[in-house]
Structure 1
């Protein structure tokens, strides 16, 4: 039986494996995700002297480990898992939609092209990966926004619970409030997932033949693919986070001085003017730190969970 991500298992088995991978991956990297969001929302100059708080009353974070320590000291160890409930729901749903769409799109492309005229693997993977990422992002975006807002909360909580957050956003901002930043989100995810799957599929087979300590060739391929894709698309991820916390609660998060932004291009222009080019890459280091274990755990868990579900179930379906 082939070990490819895209030609194994029934639809239900693929969904279950994707959801399992997302659940476990999210829990492992949750603290790094909170740190990344806090750094992305920070607008002070990177050359400012180290201080615990700025003039607006918000904390100033310097580096990944200092930020982890500061959050743990000021908000308790549970502060590193803020937003974990909507994030777990996000990762489960996102992974399930992503892997299912990727598999079905790839099979559809193969049927359309057919036989010897099939598309090059890199093109096929880019199209399928970009389509899967776009659909998964749009379908789960409200959960992504909620994850960001909960992670941005300090000790003075903006939302006391997930139901309260849903009710408050709907009341004060309407349905559109749940989709703030969707534009840069989609603009980011299509090239990100396209590059990710293209690099992953290119490296998976050659690296799979190596016997590596503490890891598999699939996991290493996933790490390298994620690093390349994340670096290329990171500014759009930062812009998305800045837009997600806009609205009537903008001044109530742990960073009290988040500027008012309107639109992707205007936000990028404002960041470049006030914070410079480096401002578009706040949190990149921890993001890459996060990408490595997240991708490795996701891919490793997905493929083994899929094999387990196949072994427990019936013969895979091969039709779309």
Structure 2
């Protein structure tokens, strides 16, 4: 992504952007998978001691915080427990990254042709980012739901689904096509402002952050400005829309398997606004921000890795094409 909005629209061919976006999503997902599992477990956790018994006959919270969750998952489920749901998640992130960046590129190119009616650069980035996030989220949502359900289930005899194929078969059989899209409205409602805020903040910060490393007395790795811009943009955007992310996770595990996951006491929720109102009524404002800390720990490095990898991959693909063209 270029520092200047007028240059951004011409960077990379569609094929290069799709490949770079897919590579960025693949690498980013693998790096942050453990934090994603912890975030999902904390978002699904009900804290009230009056609620029904949860996993392993424990009343109230199974996990006492981020590090407690990490240690408990490692102890009870092994190292692989921290990568639960990674197969559908990797598929989702590759597809999501490719769709997101290609849609963002196409939208910014269209907006740049408005000439005298062109939007201010931050607003242009917001519109393009929001549309890219919405399209990518809706297109890959079934994989997101599968990722959540695999991350939410226990190990051994406590597993709900044995394989990716069996999960698709069971959901289709018992919940129908709509079962793959539980909570989709919350996801789109979350991602549109999130990606809009993210790209607007990222494009605003990136020019200043690109020159910041030069002012330091010690050298930083190439692309540090891209990574830092991605971190700050992600923290700002994620905090603003986090309640919708929590609602999405609660809705994704509804259905006939709701009481079979690690948290056996997940209440029955219906609809985005009803879910948000019920959580606020029973657990207050803090209830809508369960897992925010680990979410920020996850989102910041994920965005940094994504944007750094995307910029580097796009540059390598462009250089490779130039080299190949010079040989012909």
Q: What is the DSSP-based 3-state SS (H/G/I as helix, E as strand, rest coil) of the residue aligned with 2:212?
A: coil
Query: Which residue of structure 2 lines up, in the alignment, with residue 138 of structure 1?
Result: 138
1:197 aligns with 2:199: yes
Greater share of helix: 2
**Cα deviation 1:52-100 (Å, max 9, x = unaligned):** 95546x8611111111010000011100000000000010000110000
Query: Which residue of structure 1 lines up, in the alignment, with residue 166 of structure 2?
Result: 164
Worse-superposed segment, 305-314 or 189-198? 305-314
Cα distance change of structure 1 residues 61 and 142 upon mapping to structure 2, 3 Å threshold: same
Cα distance change of structure 1 residues 36 and 163 upon mapping to structure 2, 3 Å threshold: same
**Cα deviation 1:251-285 (Å, max 9, x = unaligned):** 00000000000000110111012111101000000
Matches within 5 A, 1:187-226: 187-211=189-213, 213=220, 216-226=224-234
RMSD across aligned C-alpha pairs, in angstroms? 2.1
> Aligned residues, how many?
310
Query: Which residue of structure 2 lines up, in the alignment, with residue 271 of structure 1?
Result: 279
Query: Which residue of structure 2 lines up, in the alignment, with residue 236 of structure 1?
Result: 244
Q: TM-score, normalised by structure 1?
A: 0.92
1:41 aligns with 2:44: yes
Q: Distance in 2 between matches of 1:207 and 1:124?
A: 20
Q: Distance in 2 between matches of 1:2 and 1:55?
A: 52
Q: CA deviation at 1:180?
A: 0.2
Q: TM-score, normalised by structure 2?
A: 0.90
Matches within 5 A, 1:1-320: 6-45=9-48, 55=58, 60-111=62-113, 113-114=114-115, 116-155=116-155, 156-211=158-213, 213=220, 216-313=224-321
Q: CA deviation at 1:118?
A: 2.2
For structure 2, which runs of at least 5 residues remain unmatched after alignment?
Answer: 324-328
After the TM superposition, which parts of structure 1 deviate over 4 Å for at least 4 consecutive aligned residues? 1-6, 51-56
Q: Distance in 1 between matches of 2:256 and 2:276?
A: 21
Q: Distance in 2 between matches of 1:152 and 1:52?
A: 11
Q: Is the 8 A contact 2:55 2:264 kept in 1?
A: no
Q: Distance in 2 between matches of 1:278 and 1:62?
A: 15
